Structure 1
């Protein structure tokens, strides 16, 4: 159990910057309904942030996972040098092509009104790509504290820019109309400061990672690089497929929905904001992945590794279930917050539980996917992801025109469900792990029923105080249920707060 406690501790450290990063980003996104009354004004920025993940996959081409894999039996410094040289050269070449094609990209993405967004996007992608292996090095060396410091610093720079130029500056200029700062306000950058803040945050992050870059020696082992590429190229397909599954609905929404352009932008703005309400699930997934990937590789040769993986899956699913309940049972609170300025922002709130449950399936898939990474059968992962991408494309094209937000959310849900099931079936064939399948399915079914029952109660009586009260009761009930069912498992973890205290003498 010490291994699981170690993973939990590392997940916490990786989770702190991830949670704070996502939470601050979430607050910035939550601020959109207060800064912009009309959701349509946020559609362009949503489009940019739907493009960035695709390009991040292309720029990093699986090097992060390959670094963890090959560092188990190769000279780590030599490997790091070779992959860093590869990353630097490829990033310079690709960003040059991207920058030269920025006009065509702006046109294809319907960003003709803001071509500067594409230029700023190029900078974000370039700096983030160069930070990839440095962050992987910190994770592989089990240095989560430095990882957390660098991540948080970049986010704080991002946040400071946005608060200054969108929160503080407009009010200051209105009170001091003769201030020279009015020139900045007159530039009318508006929501573009989200990208500028991101760009400066990415640059600050790279600057703080200079100590990791200074350890690089200019050496390039071509045979080693070819071996790494043989391992990692299927991961590019996995990455692209994953981005299609995650981002396609937002990327194509306004192009396939049968609405006038302005109304389509309105719905895209709402859908993108509603999608972010499942952030608690994605926080859990990302924090876990940061710690789990190097951990799984390091544990793969240990006796009883599969049993540990099964226990880790159970704790992961339990954590996701609690996150799901926090979202689903307090949905009215979230709706109340985002609709304080404009009721329009709450139109698509009903799809949030569907998206959240779909993201749990995605998290389970990521956990399951360790089988093909450990066995080197990455092509299977590529085929699973391609299958998911085909399902996503077909369902988005069929359902968005008819069901709008609901169609997009059902496409996401179905895709991740099929990927999860496919990965489980293939994983049990090539790398059997004794997952507590029935218990995990039961937990997922219970939390789904609780959320549906809660929504049913609110159809009868809907004051927000009643929603909060009944939601809290249901959450407490599930907590007590899990504590009872998993009592022995928690006791085996030997957590301080579960230890029996000695009775006072005398």
Structure 2
């Protein structure tokens, strides 16, 4: 119980930054959907942002190439000098990040054309520096996690969020308002309406730069040298993890990367903007999954020698699933309330939200199951599963999106996530068997799906009574879990 409470506590601490970051980014969606629509800007502007950020997610995995997980693996091994592991990792990322920026400069015109910003190529250059800084900063953040310094981790993450939010509000609200009142103000020298979505990426850059400065103290004692034997071992361990990461990001983002070309619609970028806004409504599941991953990876490495480690891992998956299902029901039951803050021209895409939520839940369960191939150093199996998931994602997107529109992308995402989860479970039980409570997990899933469809089939005409009925359904689910899980009660009551 004490070990599970520590995992829960770390999940909450790391979740503060993750939750706030995701939540604030989600809260920026109303701003973007208000700004990026007629008559101010075309809706395609938000489509451009959605598409570019999908590519950025994949590039970030390439630029960190699994070294974050490799750092955890080798720095937590008492046989290795933690400082040498840290220095080797940081030096490697510094070299590759600078090389990436140089490549972007060389191919800047082609990249700007591919991403529909031919007249604003500075966006791509700015993004190159931002992504390079973020990649380099990933290891100092990992060191803070390994050193069990969640407060400092959270503080820097929150400052990063604050800078990004303030910059967005400054450029999209304050500047237009002030210049409408005082057109001759000095702000006319730094604000230009034609930059449009470019201010989103300027804000990202400013936040990344401030974060890098705040992380300088963690560089104390770092010698920019590479220990070649150590680096070879780390790279061998990391590359399969990188492949898994690339596949994971493609699973999450291929639809947004390809939708402009797959949709038979002259306003494909506008439709992509709608889909991107609806996808953000799955943020609660993504928030929880991200917070759990931050805490779980160092947790399972540090507890692998415990006698009851497998029982702890089994309970962790069950409790993660339960909380994830509560999130699924909560968002789907109250989506009409949550969606009020999104621009009305984007509401047609809300139909994809239940599929996105379930897909993110299965991905979270897959991440929890993934400990088997990391603990047994069989990371190549992770690559097999992840690329199998990518194959499903790509094939189904190509088949479905041209025929049924962006809901086909949601179907593809869910099918891919479920397949990865299922295969990981089956292989994990073969190579590192863990006594997961499959019956209860299956029961909770079944109950949640029944309650979800009940909320759709039994719709009460009165809006408030309908919300009351859905709240009752949510209480039923929580009540069943509370009755069935005495261990969970002990964790929450700190017994």
CA distance in 1, matches of 2:114, 2:34: 30
Across the aligned residues of Structure 1 and Structure 2, the Cα RMSD in angstroms comes to: 1.4
CA distance in 2, matches of 1:171, 1:110: 28
CA distance in 1, matches of 2:99, 2:191: 35
Alignment of 1:310-329 (within 5 A): 310-329=314-333
Report the more deviating stretch, 89-98 or 7-16: 89-98
Residue in 1 that maps onto 2:18: 18
* Pair 1:337–1:462, CA change in 2 (3 A): farther
Contact 1:333/1:464, CA 8 A, preserved across alignment: no
Gaps of 5+ in 2: none
* Pair 1:411–1:68, CA change in 2 (3 A): same
CA distance in 2, matches of 1:442, 1:388: 25
Contact 2:45/2:196, CA 8 A, preserved across alignment: no
CA distance in 2, matches of 1:33, 1:452: 30
Residue in 1 that maps onto 2:189: 183
Contact 1:48/1:121, CA 8 A, preserved across alignment: no
Report the more deviating stretch, 438-447 or 357-366: 438-447
Q: Provide the secondary structure at the position in 1 that maps to 2:458.
A: helix
Q: Confirm or deny that 1:129 pairs with 2:113.
A: no
CA distance in 1, matches of 2:282, 2:50: 16
Q: Provide the secondary structure at the position in 2 that maps to 1:181.
A: helix
* Pair 1:350–1:199, CA change in 2 (3 A): same
CA distance in 2, matches of 1:195, 1:466: 43
1:43-77 alpha-carbon deviations (Å, 9 max, x no partner): 11111101111110111000110111112321111
Q: Confirm or deny that 1:244 pairs with 2:243.
A: no
1:336-384 alpha-carbon deviations (Å, 9 max, x no partner): 3314xxx321001111011100110000000001110111001000000
1:65-121 alpha-carbon deviations (Å, 9 max, x no partner): 011111232111111111111111111112211222122112222332432221121
Contact 2:29/2:342, CA 8 A, preserved across alignment: no
Q: Confirm or deny that 1:357 pairs with 2:355.
A: no
TM-score of the two chains, using structure 2 as the length reference: 0.96
Q: How many residues align?
A: 489
Contact 1:12/1:287, CA 8 A, preserved across alignment: yes
Q: Confirm or deny that 1:120 pairs with 2:126.
A: yes
Contact 1:238/1:386, CA 8 A, preserved across alignment: yes
Gaps of 5+ in 1: 500-506
CA distance in 2, matches of 1:452, 1:115: 47
Q: Confirm or deny that 1:202 pairs with 2:208.
A: yes
1:490 to 469, 476, 488: 488
CA distance in 2, matches of 1:65, 1:201: 24
Residue in 2 that maps onto 1:72: 76
1:265-289 alpha-carbon deviations (Å, 9 max, x no partner): 1210100110010000000000011
Question: 1:482, CA displacement in angstroms?
Answer: 1.3
Alignment of 1:44-63 (within 5 A): 44-63=48-67
CA distance in 2, matches of 1:285, 1:183: 42
CA distance in 1, matches of 2:463, 2:351: 16
Contact 1:158/1:200, CA 8 A, preserved across alignment: yes
TM-score of the two chains, using structure 1 as the length reference: 0.94
Contact 2:482/2:489, CA 8 A, preserved across alignment: no
CA distance in 2, matches of 1:478, 1:310: 21
1:105-141 alpha-carbon deviations (Å, 9 max, x no partner): 1222233243222112112101101101100000001
CA distance in 2, matches of 1:494, 1:176: 56
Residue in 2 that maps onto 1:504: none
Q: Confirm or deny that 1:259 pairs with 2:259.
A: no
CA distance in 2, matches of 1:449, 1:114: 49
Question: 1:394, CA displacement in angstroms?
Answer: 0.3
1:169 to 172, 175, 189: 175
Residue in 1 that maps onto 2:144: 138
Alignment of 1:339-418 (within 5 A): 339=343, 343-418=344-419
Contact 1:57/1:240, CA 8 A, preserved across alignment: yes
1:338 to 322, 336, 342: 342
Report the more deviating stretch, 414-423 or 93-102: 93-102
Contact 1:325/1:451, CA 8 A, preserved across alignment: yes
Residue in 1 that maps onto 2:423: 422
Question: 1:204, CA displacement in angstroms?
Answer: 0.7
